[in-house]
Structure 1
């Protein structure tokens, strides 16, 4: 199996050097390039076609949100994993809406970072359990008015698929959804795949955003008892 091709994007030279050193431990990851700003990231993504772009948010010339939007909108299979300090980063939700497949904290342990890259490369999204609830809270705060057109997209879902989408929107993992609905986790995974396919969503992150945009989940609500 060929190594995962990763592009490092951060305007801090020391941070990029540290990331390269950390990732060099994993023989299944190959850092194919580095960029110090978002514009260069877009150019190198087009040129090198990495599997994963590890993307900083705050950068000169073009920030990580705009760079992510350009990379994703180009139709490339490249997936974007956002690097963030998160505690003071107001751009995370914007990056997720731009098409990022997840995020990791800059203080993440090396083994977690490598696992995150593999998760993203395998086509899943990454909403880390340690910070998922914070992401959901930000999604709720940042979402605009309900979108009637978005709501109509849910009409093609079965009642059980709506249940699953609602719980995804509340930040529950597949295991937690399985427990809530009293079904096998494999069944939940099947539902998630069908939901993404029916709604033409890139990944779980977009499902969370849509759950709020449609009003299926509202800020402050708790999962209903089932």
Structure 2
């Protein structure tokens, strides 16, 4: 997929600068560990018009120009919302973990999931945890992920609900794509009340035991045409 190359200036939790220009941005969906629950969720979504994915997990490759570490982002309409996700950055065999938001146009999602994801920026934290060449060493099931919308708790739980991001990455790699430099969003957890909500201020937090918490905070504004 042709993409607009986007340079990301990141920093490790130890303070080391990391410059990455990812060749691919991939957002994974339907990455829940309970496969029967995932299938049930797909059927529920299909009943309200959301298209079924071509694969489980599903992969949506987007323009890397959507990536942003800015604190303010523009969206096309009022019905957009974010979701907290673990984000794996791979650059020439080296791996970094951060947190981001799969901000999505919910009105468009009912017609075209990929288009709905591509319609919104993809905010990520500017701070990363250096995983070196062994991302599988992460204590995945103990990592907590939390999202607040306008200071109200929106999502909260451990990543034990999701497939480890290294398994999601292996699924993507099995397609044989050239992904030496990429950013992978690893999926999200259920919403606490099961309902999408729309607002302005989003805060995403990922906490790996023994590491400083990673946070991505941003506000949205509807783009003026």
Structure-2-length-normalised TM-score = 0.27
Say which structure, 1 or 2, has more relative contact order (CA 8 Å, 6+ apart). Answer: 2
Structure-1-length-normalised TM-score = 0.27
More strand by percentage: 2
More helix by percentage: 1
